[in-house]
C-alpha cells in the first residue's frame, strides 16, 4: 500500500515538474528555467548527501566519464519538454515522451548497449508500445 | 504541432539514454550522490547553453519567489520513485509511476492550473489515456505474465526520470 502511494506520488511529481518548468519558462525563458530548477535541485540533493553522511562519492573516479556526464543531457530533455508542453499540452507531451523512452529502452536492452545486460524482448512489450501509440492517435483525432 | 511531437520524441529518447547512464553510475555510488551529480551537470549544461544562446541576457529575469523552489520537485521524484521501487520492485513501481504521470497530465490539461492552457475534457481523451495506461502496464508487467523471467528488460532503462 505504501509502495503504491509512493509510486503514484512519484508520477504526480513528474507531471508537476513538467508543468512547473513550462510555466516558469514562459515567464523567464527556457534556459533560465532549466538552469534555475537544476541548480536548486542540486543544492537540495547535496544537503541530503551531507545529512545522510553519504561517502559513496569516493567511488566516483571508478565511473566511466561517459556515464558520469549523463546529467548534461538534462539540458536537451528539459528544453524539449518545456517547448513540447507549450505547443501541445502536458498529456500528449508525457505520452510521446514515454513512447520514445520505452522504444529506445527496447533497443538498449535488446542489444545490450551501454553495458546493459542483453535481454530478450517479449511480444507483450511490442504490443504494449503499439497500444500506447494507438492511445496517442485516439487522443489527437 | 509537428515540432512538438518531434521534440517529445527527441526528449524521450534522451531520457532513456540518461536513465541508462545513471544506472551505470548507480552501480558505483549511491542514489543521492548520483542525483546530486546529475543535477549539477544538468545545471552546468543549461547554464552553458543559456550563455551561448542568450549571452549575459540569461541573467536578466524577474523570478517569482516560488520559482526558486521548483528544484524540490525533482528531488521529490527521486525520493518517491526510489521508495516505490524498493517496496514494489521496479516493473510494478515504474508502471504505476507512468500511469500516474499520464492521468495527472490529463487532470492538469483539463484544469489548466499554473497558467497552463486549458484543454477541455473529452471522453475521447480519457479513452486515449486509458489505452496508453494499458500499453504501459502490458509493457512493464507483460514479461511477468508470460512467466518467462528472461524476457524482462533492465528496470533501470525504464525508470521514469527527467
Per-residue pLDDT reduced to its tens digit, A128-137: 999 999 999 9
Whether B64 and B120 map to the same domain: the answer is no
Q: What is the DSSP letter of B61?
A: -
Q: Does A114 touch chain B (CB under 8 A)?
A: yes
List Cβ neighbours of B98 (8 Å cut-off, separation of 6 or more): A11, A98, B133, B136, B140, B160
Assigned domain for B157 exists: no
**DSSP conformation letters of A9-58:** HHHHHHHHHHHHHHHHHHHH-HHHHHHHHHHHHHHHHHHHHHHTT--GGG
Which among B133, B132, B8 is positioned nearest to A96, based on CA atoms? B8
The per-residue pLDDT for A99 is 96
Q: Among all chains, which residue has been given the C-alpha cell 530533455?
A: A77
Q: Which domain holds residue B26?
A: 18-88
Residue of chain B whose alpha carbon sits nearest to that of A140: B125
Q: Is residue B132 part of a domain?
A: yes
What is this structure's pTM? 0.90
B76 & B118 share domain: no
Q: Please check whether residues B67 and B51 belong to one and the same domain.
A: yes
Same domain, B76 and B94: no
Specify if B131 maps to a domain: yes
B3 located within any domain: no
The pLDDT value recorded for residue B144 is 77
Domain assignment present for residue B74? The answer is: yes
Same domain, yes or no: B28 and B71: yes
Q: What is the pLDDT of residues B12-48, one digit of tens each?
A: 999 999 999 999 999 999 999 999 999 999 999 999 9
Instruction: Looking at the complex, report in whole angstroms how far the Cα of residue B122 sits from the nearest Cα belonging to chain A.
Output: 9
Within 71-110 of A, beta carbons closer than 8 Å to B belong to 71-81, 83-106, 108-109
B69-101 pLDDT tens trace: 888 999 999 999 999 999 998 888 999 999 999
Q: How far is CA A82 from the centre of its chain?
A: 13
Q: Are residues B80 and B98 in the same domain?
A: no
The string of pLDDT tens digits covering residues B93-137 is 999 999 999 999 999 999 988 777 888 899 999 999 999 999 999
**How large is the C-alpha radius of gyration of chain A?**
18
Say whether both B120 and B106 belong to one domain: yes
Same domain, B107 and B77: no
User: Is pLDDT of B57 > 80?
Assistant: yes
Which positions in chain A touch B60 (Cβ < 8 Å)? none
The residue from B71, B88, B105 where one domain ends is B88
Could you give the number of structural domains in chain B? 2
Does residue A5 register a pLDDT over 60? yes
Q: Are B116 and A23 spatial neighbours (Cβ–Cβ below 8 Å)?
A: yes
Residues A99 and A125: their CA atoms lie apart, in Å, by 11
The answer to whether B72 contacts A41, with C-beta atoms less than 8 Å apart, is: yes
Closest chain B CA to residue A94: B102
Indicate the SS3 state at residue A106: helix
C-alpha distance from A111 to closest chain B C-alpha (Å) = 11
Q: Is residue B160 in a domain? A: no
What's the confidence (pLDDT) of residue A140?
86
B11 in any annotated domain: no
Co-location of B24 and B76 in the same domain: yes
B66 and B106 co-located in one domain: no
Tell me: do B81 and B96 sit in the same domain: no
Residue B42 falls inside a structural domain: yes
The nearest CA of chain A is from the CA of B47 a distance in Å of: 6
- Chain B contacts of A140, Cβ < 8 Å? 128
Query: Are B84 and B47 contained in the same domain?
Result: yes
Amino acid at each position: 500500500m505504501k509502495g503504491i502511494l509512493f509510486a503514484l506520488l512519484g508520477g504526480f511529481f513528474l507531471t508537476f515538474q513538467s508543468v512547473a518548468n513550462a510555466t516558469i519558462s514562459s515567464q523567464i525563458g527556457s534556459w533560465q528555467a532549466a538552469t534555475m530548477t537544476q541548480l536548486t535541485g542540486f543544492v537540495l540533493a547535496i544537503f541530503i548527501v551531507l545529512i545522510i553522511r553519504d561517502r559513496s562519492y569516493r567511488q566516483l573516479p571508478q565511473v566511466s566519464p561517459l556515464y558520469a556526464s549523463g546529467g548534461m543531457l538534462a539540458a536537451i530533455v528539459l528544453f524539449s519538454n518545456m517547448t513540447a508542453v507549450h505547443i501541445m499540452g502536458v498529456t500528449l507531451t508525457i505520452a510521446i515522451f514515454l513512447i520514445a523512452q520505452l522504444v529506445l529502452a527496447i533497443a538498449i536492452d535488446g542489444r545490450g548497449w551501454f553495458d546493459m545486460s542483453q535481454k530478450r524482448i517479449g511480444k507483450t512489450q511490442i504490443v504494449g508500445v503499439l497500444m500506447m501509440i494507438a492511445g496517442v492517435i485516439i487522443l489527437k483525432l | 504541432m509537428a515540432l512538438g511531437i518531434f521534440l517529445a520524441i527527441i526528449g524521450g529518447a534522451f531520457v532513456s539514454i540518461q536513465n541508462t547512464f545513471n544506472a551505470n553510475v548507480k552501480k558505483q555510488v549511491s542514489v543521492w550522490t548520483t542525483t546530486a551529480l546529475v543535477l549539477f551537470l544538468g545545471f552546468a549544461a543549461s547554464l552553458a547553453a543559456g550563455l551561448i544562446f542568450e549571452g549575459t541576457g540569461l541573467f536578466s529575469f524577474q523570478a517569482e519567489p516560488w520559482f526558486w523552489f521548483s528544484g524540490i520537485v525533482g528531488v521529490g521524484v527521486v525520493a518517491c520513485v526510489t521508495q516505490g521501487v524498493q517496496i514494489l520492485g521496479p516493473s510494478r513501481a515504474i508502471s504505476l509511476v507512468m500511469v500516474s504521470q499520464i492521468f495527472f497530465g490529463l487532470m492538469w490539461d483539463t484544469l489548466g492550473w499554473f497558467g497552463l492552457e486549458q484543454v477541455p475534457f473529452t471522453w475521447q481523451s480519457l479513452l486515449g489515456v486509458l489505452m496508453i495506461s494499458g500499453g504501459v502496464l502490458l509493457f512493464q508487467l507483460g514479461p511477468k505474465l508470460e512467466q518467462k523471467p528472461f524476457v524482462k528488460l533492465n528496470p533501470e532503462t525504464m525508470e521514469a526520470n527527467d
